[in-house]
């Protein structure tokens, strides 16, 4: 038995449905978790996913901004969303899937970016990000005996080799100590495993996002690892491999994030 999932901040699902089709045709996965779909529920291209065999769809969209969706080839047994910080943003959806003989909860997150200034007193967006993270401390990798997986754009690059220059990004939102320490506390406190770093050693640079603002993203390779796949210890044991689809950053009209795949052997 096997199980595979991918996470991808798509930066508009309607604009990039063609890229998603190309991706799913070349990289077979059971479940795809999308962030920043930037559309309302009724604008989600459900039919396109159904044509590709992803008949089970859970969407939590909103107009213009944010929005998350999880699509699956196999049944989604349940789904719900939590309104973190009670701001009405669509930044979370949890779906329940069969994983071999067991059931798992799959949390799909789009954590707030946090704005420019890394000071919660002067920057409300950074304050929102920190409060959102504080609420995430409640997430445990095992609840009532059920194992969980947590994926998404967490908008934090926690380790030194998750950014192109640790020194130069220490004051840049996404890699400040308050953010990286809090994310580590959520990880450890919930007994989560960082599956991407379980597969790729922490002394290797690894990125999943490169800014649109650079003329050529490859020249200096100034990226960050903002997208994550975490799981309960019991699931981490069956991880077979992680694939970061770096070439997706070079596709026509790309997202600024690339897909990350986790494959499990059960």
Partner DNA sequence: ATGACGGATCTAATCCGA
Q: Would you count residue 224 as binding DNA (CB under 7 A)?
A: yes
Q: Closest approach of Cβ 99 to DNA, in Å?
A: 28
CA–CA separation, 234 and 86 (whole Å): 32
Q: Closest approach of Cβ 113 to DNA, in Å?
A: 3
Q: Would you count residue 9 as binding DNA (CB under 7 A)?
A: yes
Cβ nearer to DNA, comparing 143 with 220: 220
Place of tokens 């009670």: 86
Cβ nearer to DNA, comparing 28 with 218: 218
Q: Would you count residue 213 as binding DNA (CB under 7 A)?
A: yes
In the set 144, 201, 215, 247, which binds DNA (CB under 7 A)?
215
CA–CA separation, 4 and 12 (whole Å): 23
Residues pairing with 78 in the sheet? 96
Q: Are 58 and 37 spatial neighbours (Cβ–Cβ below 8 Å)?
A: no
Q: Closest approach of Cβ 3 to DNA, in Å?
A: 27
Q: Closest approach of Cβ 50 to DNA, in Å?
A: 21
> CA geometry: angle at 124 spanning 123 and 130, to 5°?
100
What is the DSSP pairing of strand 2-9 with strand 31-35? parallel
Cβ nearer to DNA, comparing 76 with 169: 169
Cβ nearer to DNA, comparing 72 with 259: 259
Three-state DSSP class for 121? coil
User: DSSP code of 246?
Assistant: G
Place of tokens 């107009």: 63
Q: Which of residues 230-259 bind DNA (CB under 7 A)?
A: 253, 256-257
In the set 4, 33, 38, 248, which binds DNA (CB under 7 A)?
38
Burial 65-92 (b: 16+ CB within 10 A, else e): ebbbbbbbbeebeebeebebeeeebbbb
List contacts with DNA (CB under 7 A). Answer: 9, 11-12, 14-15, 36, 38-39, 63-65, 112-116, 125, 153, 155, 168, 172-174, 209, 211-215, 220, 222, 224, 226, 253, 256-257
């Amino acid at each position: 038995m096997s199980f595979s999932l991918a996470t991808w901040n798509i930066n508009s699902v309607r604009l990039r449905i063609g890229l998603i089709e190309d991706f799913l045709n070349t990289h077979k996965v059971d479940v795809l978790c999308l962030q920043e779909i930037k559309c309302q529920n009724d604008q989600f291209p459900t039919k396109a996913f159904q044509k590709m065999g992803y008949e089970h769809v859970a969407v939590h969209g909103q107009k213009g901004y944010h929005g998350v969706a999880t699509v699956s080839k196999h049944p989604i047994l349940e789904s719900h969303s939590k309104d973190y910080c009670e701001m009405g943003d669509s930044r979370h959806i949890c779906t329940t899937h069969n994983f071999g003989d067991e059931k798992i909860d799959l949390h799909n997150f789009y954590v707030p970016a946090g704005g420019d200034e890394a000071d919660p007193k002067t920057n409300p967006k950074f304050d929102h990000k920190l409060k959102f993270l504080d609420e995430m401390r409640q997430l445990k990798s095992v609840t009532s005996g059920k194992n969980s997986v947590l994926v998404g754009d967490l908008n934090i690059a926690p380790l030194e080799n998750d950014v192109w220059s640790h020194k130069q990004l220490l004051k840049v939102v996404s890699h400040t100590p308050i953010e990286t320490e809090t994310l580590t506390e959520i990880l450890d406190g919930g007994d989560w495993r960082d599956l991407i770093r379980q597969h790729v050693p922490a002394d290797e640079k690894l990125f999943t996002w490169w800014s649109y603002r650079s003329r050529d993203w490859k020249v200096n390779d100034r990226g960050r690892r903002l997208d994550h796949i975490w799981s309960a210890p019991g699931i981490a044991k069956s991880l077979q491999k992680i694939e970061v689809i770096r070439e997706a950053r070079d596709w026509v009209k790309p997202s600024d994030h690339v897909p990350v795949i986790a494959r499990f052997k059960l």
